Structure 1
Amino acid sequence: MRIAMKRKPLARLVAAAILAFAVPVMSQAETVADTMAAAYQHNGLIEQNRALLRAADEDVAIAVSALKPILNWSADMTYSRGRSFTPGTMAASRSSSGTDATIGLAAELLLYDFGRSKIGIGVQKETVLATRQALVSAEQQVLLRAATAFFEVQRRNEFVRLRQNNVRVISEQLRAARDRFEVGEVTRTDVSLAEARLAGARAALAAAQGQLAQANEEFRAAVGRKPGQLSGLGRVPATAKSVDAAKAVALRNHPEMLKVQHEVTATELAILAAEAGMKPQVKLTGRYGLTQNLDDRGFSNGGSVGVEIGGPIYQGGRLSALARQAMARRDQARAGLHVVRHNIALAVGNAWAGLQVARASRDASERQVRAAREAFRGVREEATLGARTTLDVLDAEQELLDAQTNLASAMVDEHVAAYNLLSAMGYLTAERLNLRVPRYDPAAYYNLVKDAPAKRSRQGQQLDKALRSLGKQ
């Protein structure tokens, strides 16, 4: 039931404000690592899940407080007025009035409850561990979206470049067709074909530019700013040697798998807590009070110390219902673990297949580009000799454009598929990718609050400083 933590001096924790900063260095050309680092630092989803984790940490403190002394004070002022009558006659009576002020202290300490409170602490610790894994899942979502946005901008930029080159090449073909028409080598039909192809190429260029604008907007939404000058695609990240190896890694390390495992443990402990709730409790109690009459300055005081034992006898079936409810939630969590295991294996299998398809497509597209380029050069040379028509040249140029577009898309798809596989394996995190970002230590805040420090204690004051440095107060 322990949560392994690195113990650090509180002063260091406060000075670091929970975050150990590593200043990112941006190169002239932005890489995919730069993009993911920027998204990591500016995405609200990660900050949202960090706040949820801090709230779960506080649940541990709340559970711990049940084993600590409870001290309450109370004060009241009472004015009373009355009249007393002598038996046998209603005529003789005496009135009285007075004002009393009372102040008192009440203390309570739980001595024994059959382990219910300690089990409750264990439940909350498991919940903290599950919430930490939810934070890792959110981190993976953010980084995958940023990487996908980066490569999509690369794809659309390449499409625009290819379309611009297509417009340039067809414009040259149109000029050549017009020149040859002037000397009678081709007919008006050849010129019209080139004009039609040029108009289509310009329309395709406009569409590509619109798609690039949309990709830039997705980049802005995922990263928090517009894309700068992007570097090349770079090397495809290493993943796994086989689909079975990838699945084995995912089932051990994927945050969703670890999260559900902790949830199962928490629900199993919750059953024990519900059963302990049916048993009695032993408490140490103490009281002290002072009462003063404000009319005659008289006062009285007194106190008591005792051991209190009590427990439920009948509560309308509520306790039994809570126990059965805990069992049902345990069964739900176990079934969820089964579902998540199969979903993770499915996601890894799909991502692996997508990566293999992308690699095969990239290899085929490279061969297609080489062949289409040679064919275009040959057709163009033959056209200058009169052996090919203008339509033949335009068709060859279109085939080359399609091949180049397929290759550009396949190369991007290969990178995206690799990052999808890393995410499915649970490896798409800032730590594993070694991103130059502020590192968030989820144990730091937990170590500050796990003992439920009082607000005016030294540790409580250190916690307030840490929260202020995070901008939470």
Structure 2
Amino acid sequence: MRIARSLFASLLIASSVFGSSASADTLSGALSRAYENSGLLEQNRATLRAADENVAQAVSRLRPVLSWSASALNNNLTGANPLADFDSNFSTSLSLNLNWLLYDFGASDLAVEAQKQTVLATREALVSVEQQVLQRAVAAYLSVLRDQQFVSLRESNVRLIAEELRAAEERFNLGETTRTSVALAEARLASARSLLAVARGNLVRAEQEYQVAVGAMPRNLAQAPASPVSLSVDAAKAYAVRHHPQIKQLQYSVSASELALERASLAMRPQVQLNSGITLRDDGTESSNISVTVGGPLYNGGAMQSQMRQARHQLDSARAGLHIAVQNIEQNVVVAYANYDVAGAARDAYEQQVAAAEVVFEGTREEASLGARTMLDVLTAEQDLLDARANLVSAQIDEILASYSILAALGSLTVDHLDLSVQRFDPEAYYELVKSAPIASSARGQALDRVLSAIGD
């Protein structure tokens, strides 16, 4: 019974370490740090800002283009001595030109709208990346918890077998048992120490993954709560199809492809352009011109027809991709719920197994003290109890992980849904600054300079 009390005390200490939230890192804190420290999120935020700039560039095509040029000309190099007459024949000029697309049957407007849809799709892609970052952090947190408790169980197992070995040696010295029982305890102790070393190695790997996923080493992690699961499978599937960022991203991509096809159909239409220019020469003369031109392609080797067919195929591909994504999301929801149910059932079963194994161990240990059981029986009962407790720990962690996998399958594993205490990234802030394609000297342009400087820092 002394050994049984020792095991119970060790497990009680482990429970107090991993179950208490006092002075411990919490799962929500780890998720907040993962969001704030993620280089992957920073990379995709830059990708979103680049997509925002495509809108500005599409808008700029509807505005006049002002350009300048300077030239130097020698009109006569055919004389007997052209270098002698170089200065008299040399002239310079400076020109200022304006080109403005006045009308193209809405093709440029369609380009702007297509880029806006691409921006919306890129925002949803950023939400998907956010889910990946948070899901990895959840998995890393729970993996450390699992391996910490495995190490605790293995340490308790080593202490228990060491006690059994000491007891066997005492009985052997008194002539109450054989050398075989002592050797059996020694073998089990060596095996337990080997498994403890493996558990500690697994914990080191889990801690390194945690550092990469979260941005800091784990410190006294608190037991993580499971995410509440309130929707039925059918309701969850319907919710995911409406709200999952991957679905919304592909919906915006389909819209962008539809606009691209409509724009391609206008490629044969003419364009109306305004052209104007003024030229100043070094002899004091100047000339100016202004013209409105209407023109369009008649034949370009079939390239525009090919581009139209290509746009139609790209639209078909985008629609098919959306259909496949809907199927995959629905499948992921069903699998996530199934995994959650399996983990819950396993937890219930292992709780019963642990309770039964405790009774068996305590009874076997008591019977061994009366001579009705052997050392092998005691060690076997202890191993069964250890395995049951390890399986229970693993099932508890699996159930928590499965609950967050359901959130990810729904598209709700985000800082907004989890209400994390972080400085949230605003995907519209940069877009609002650049959507009108401001020039550097404008108020928006100066604000952009400040934003870019802050990003660079």
Fold-level similarity (TM above 0.5): yes
What amino acid is aligned across from residue 298 of structure 2 in structure 1?
I
Uncovered stretches (5+) of structure 2, i.e. residues with no partner: 1-20
Alignment of structure 1 residues 289-438 onto 2, 5 Å: 289-292=279-282, 298-438=283-423
Uncovered stretches (5+) of structure 1, i.e. residues with no partner: 1-25, 86-93, 293-297
Partner-residue secondary structure (3-state), 2:182 = helix
The answer to whether the 8 A contact 1:80-1:97 is kept is no
Q: 2:101 aligns with which of 101, 110, 124?
A: 110
What amino acid is aligned across from residue 48 of structure 1 in structure 2?
Q
CA distance in 1, matches of 2:78, 2:219: 90
The equivalent residue for 2:166 is: 175
Quote the offset at 1:84 in angstroms: 8.4
1:72-95: CA deviation from partner (whole Å, max 9, x where unpaired): 11111212225689xxxxxxxx99
The equivalent residue for 2:5 is: none
Quote the offset at 1:387 in angstroms: 1.2
Paired-residue identity, %: 49
The answer to whether the 8 A contact 1:82-1:96 is kept is no
The equivalent residue for 1:278 is: 268
The equivalent residue for 1:4 is: none
1:302-342: CA deviation from partner (whole Å, max 9, x where unpaired): 21222111101111111111111100100110110111111
The equivalent residue for 2:242 is: 252
What amino acid is aligned across from residue 211 of structure 1 in structure 2?
N
What amino acid is aligned across from residue 263 of structure 2 in structure 1?
A
Partner-residue secondary structure (3-state), 1:470 = helix
Quote the offset at 1:28 in angstroms: 2.5
The equivalent residue for 1:31 is: 26
The equivalent residue for 1:440 is: 425
CA distance in 2, matches of 1:346, 1:259: 18
Quote the offset at 1:184 in angstroms: 2.3
Quote the offset at 1:27 in angstroms: 7.6
What amino acid is aligned across from residue 251 of structure 1 in structure 2?
V
* Change in CA separation of 1:301 and 1:336 when aligned onto 2, cut-off 3 Å: same
Q: 1:148 aligns with which of 136, 139, 147?
A: 139
What amino acid is aligned across from residue 345 of structure 2 in structure 1?
A
The answer to whether the 8 A contact 1:105-1:288 is kept is yes
Quote the offset at 1:262 in angstroms: 0.5
The answer to whether the 8 A contact 2:146-2:393 is kept is yes
Alignment of structure 1 residues 75-86 onto 2, 5 Å: 75-82=70-77
The answer to whether the 8 A contact 1:283-1:308 is kept is yes
Quote the offset at 1:274 in angstroms: 0.8
CA distance in 2, matches of 1:454, 1:27: 54
Give the number of the structure whose residues are more often helix, by fraction. 2
CA distance in 1, matches of 2:160, 2:149: 16
The equivalent residue for 2:110 is: 119
Partner-residue secondary structure (3-state), 2:62 = coil
What amino acid is aligned across from residue 30 of structure 1 in structure 2?
D
Partner-residue secondary structure (3-state), 1:276 = coil
1:81-135: CA deviation from partner (whole Å, max 9, x where unpaired): 25689xxxxxxxx999422111111112221101000000011000000000110
The equivalent residue for 2:258 is: 268
CA distance in 1, matches of 2:170, 2:361: 20
The answer to whether the 8 A contact 2:226-2:401 is kept is no
The answer to whether the 8 A contact 1:81-1:97 is kept is no
Quote the offset at 1:444 in angstroms: 0.3
The one of the two structures with greater contact order (alpha-carbon pairs below 8 A, sep at least 6) is: 1
The equivalent residue for 1:62 is: 57
Deviates more, 1:58-67 or 1:40-49: 40-49
Quote the offset at 1:224 in angstroms: 2.0
Q: TM-score, normalised by structure 1?
A: 0.89
Establish whether residue 243 from structure 1 lines up as the match of residue 230 from structure 2.
no
The answer to whether the 8 A contact 1:84-1:95 is kept is no
CA distance in 1, matches of 2:324, 2:278: 57
CA distance in 2, matches of 1:209, 1:134: 38
* Change in CA separation of 1:96 and 1:375 when aligned onto 2, cut-off 3 Å: closer
What amino acid is aligned across from residue 416 of structure 1 in structure 2?
L
Q: 2:149 aligns with which of 149, 158, 163?
A: 158
Quote the offset at 1:193 in angstroms: 1.1
The answer to whether the 8 A contact 1:243-1:349 is kept is yes
Quote the offset at 1:299 in angstroms: 2.2
1:361-412: CA deviation from partner (whole Å, max 9, x where unpaired): 1111111111111111111111111111111111110110000000000000
Q: CA RMSD in A?
A: 1.7
Q: TM-score, normalised by structure 2?
A: 0.92
CA distance in 2, matches of 1:266, 1:254: 19
Deviates more, 1:438-447 or 1:235-244: 235-244
